[in-house]
């Protein structure tokens, strides 16, 4: 069933998101101007605001499009599985960190998105749903390893995954420390020593 009135120009969405992505990754979140996006896209500002009610919503849409689907390839070795899983999270974080041509310890766009989720209930709700889904995958991974005897029977899966994912976010958003594969491996080792079943 088609809606009643004049249909939206679907090309606008794609064009706007591409232009906004260019701006946000070239000049950062502050350098992203709605007026400029509208002008470069050749549309009126009202057309943008009909689709994304705030600049935050547009920025979220831009970043969401760049995050590839987060599928996990399970090997059966919990250490390798966790490292692979966390490495994808780290990659997404480093991508956002690099936005705006920034280097060094700054959290870049990642920090702005955290604030956007805090400002707008709908963005926060959407983001938390995404995180909940990702957390569920991580918890399932841990749970299966527990069942097959790789991990302690009485472990706290929620706390364990919080520790792992949390450490990555903590370094990117708070301390500014680097997050590379070597660190992810150190992290998993640190968390698993003792969560591995004792012999």
Residue placing its CB nearer to DNA in the complex, 39 or 143 = 39
Q: Which residues contact 62 (CB under 8 A, 6 or more apart)?
A: 17, 20, 21, 24
CB of 147 to a copy of itself, least distance (A): 18
Applying CB under 7 A, which residues contact DNA?
A: 1-9, 12, 32-35, 42-47, 49-51, 53-56
Tally DSSP H helices, then E strands, for the chain.
Answer: 9, 0
137 binds a copy of itself, rule: CB under 8 A = no
119 binds a copy of itself, rule: CB under 8 A = yes
Q: Count the residues of the shown chain that bind a copy of itself, applying the rule CB under 8 A.
A: 55
Look at the chain and count its residues: 199
Cα separation, 62 vs 122, whole angstroms: 16
The token duo for 38 is 């509208």
β-bridge mates for residue 151, sequence order: 196
Angle at 116 between CA 130 and CA 45, to 5 degrees: 110
142 binds a copy of itself, rule: CB under 8 A = no
Binding positions for a copy of itself, rule: CB under 8 A: 29-30, 105-112, 114-115, 117-119, 121, 124, 127-128, 131-132, 135, 152, 155-156, 158-160, 162-171, 173-177, 183, 186-187, 189-196, 198
């Amino acid at each position: 069933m088609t809606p009643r009135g004049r249909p939206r120009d679907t090309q606008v969405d794609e064009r706007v998101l591409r232009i906004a992505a260019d701006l946000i990754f070239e000049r950062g979140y502050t350098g992203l101007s709605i007026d400029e996006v509208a002008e470069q896209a050749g549309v009126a500002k009202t057309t943008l605001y009909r689709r994304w009610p705030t600049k935050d919503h547009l920025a979220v849409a831009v970043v969401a499009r760049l995050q590839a689907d987060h599928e996990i390839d399970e090997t059966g070795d919990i250490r390798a599985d966790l490292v692979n899983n966390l490495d994808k999270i780290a990659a997404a974080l480093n991508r956002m960190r690099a936005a705006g041509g920034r280097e060094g310890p700054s959290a870049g766009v990642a920090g702005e998105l955290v604030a956007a989720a805090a400002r707008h209930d709908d963005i926060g709700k959407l983001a938390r749903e995404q995180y909940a889904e990702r957390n569920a995958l991580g918890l399932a991974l841990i749970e299966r390893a527990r069942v097959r005897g790789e991990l302690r029977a009485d472990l706290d899966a929620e706390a364990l995954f919080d520790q792992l994912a949390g450490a990555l976010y903590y370094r990117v958003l708070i301390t500014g420390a680097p997050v590379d594969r070597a660190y992810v491996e150190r992290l998993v080792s640190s968390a698993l020593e003792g969560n591995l079943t004792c012999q």
